[in-house]
């Protein structure tokens, strides 16, 4: 399962954060600042909050990195009406296309990829049974 790191309100994946930076400066022999060096800024710290979603402006103290796929789905369901045939058809088609592409990838990956996929989907015992039955 992919880690979902999107804004729970709009699904946006870019946030404006804050970062402590250091810069190169000219000092005198006593370490007193004299002037900044042009383009002398470099990053030093991990960006921190508050984070503001670039898309919808929602503000978060922490990034909403731990939002589950189920929560994202709930937000999508709230925002759209799913009783129209053309929406249902578009979703059906997208699922079908993704699985079809995934099937091609797995099959093109050879026996190792195929078995890895099947073990993940069916479990070791079922895969062994499948192979055993095919041999008979
Ligand atoms: Zn947002």
Predicted local distance difference test score (pLDDT) of residue 1 = 41
At residue 8, what are phi and psi to the nearest 5 degrees?
-65, -20
The answer to whether the CB of 60 falls within 8 A of the CB of 51 is yes
112 and 66 part of one domain: no
Compute the distance from residue 13 Cα to the ligand 1 centre, in Å: 8
Query: What's the whole-number mean pLDDT along residues 26-40?
Result: 90
Residue 64 has pLDDT above 80, yes or no: no
94 and 107 part of one domain: yes
72 and 112 part of one domain: no
Domain count, the chain: 2
Tens of pLDDT along 71-80? 778 878 887 7
Compute the distance from residue 99 Cα to the ligand 1 centre, in Å: 29
70 and 85 part of one domain: no
Compute the distance from residue 3 Cα to the ligand 1 centre, in Å: 17
Compute the distance from residue 2 Cα to the ligand 1 centre, in Å: 19
Compute the distance from residue 50 Cα to the ligand 1 centre, in Å: 14
Tens of pLDDT along 8-28? 888 888 999 998 888 889 999
Output 68 or 121, whichever has higher pLDDT.
Answer: 121
Separation of alpha carbons 34 and 28, rounded Å = 7
Compute the distance from residue 48 Cα to the ligand 1 centre, in Å: 17
Domain that holds residue 20: 1-79
Flag whether the pTM goes above 0.75: no
15 and 33 part of one domain: yes
- Single out the residue of 19, 21, 13 nearest to residue 63, CA to CA: 13
109 and 91 part of one domain: yes
105 and 134 part of one domain: yes
31 and 71 part of one domain: yes
Separation of alpha carbons 87 and 45, rounded Å = 45
């Amino acid at each position: 399962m992919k880690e979902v790191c999107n804004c729970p309100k709009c699904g946006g994946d870019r946030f404006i954060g804050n970062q402590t930076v250091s810069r190169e400066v000219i000092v005198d022999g006593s370490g007193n600042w004299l002037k900044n060096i042009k383009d002398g800024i470099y990053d030093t710290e991990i960006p921190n909050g508050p984070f503001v979603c670039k898309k919808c402006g929602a503000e978060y103290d922490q990034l909403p990195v731990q939002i589950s796929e189920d929560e994202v789905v709930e937000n999508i369901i709230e925002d759209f009406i799913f009783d129209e045939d053309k929406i249902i058809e578009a979703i059906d088609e997208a699922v079908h296309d993704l699985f079809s592409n995934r099937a091609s990838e797995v099959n093109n990956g050879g026996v190792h990829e195929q078995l890895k996929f099947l073990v993940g989907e069916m479990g070791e015992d079922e895969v062994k049974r499948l192979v055993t039955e095919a041999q008979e």
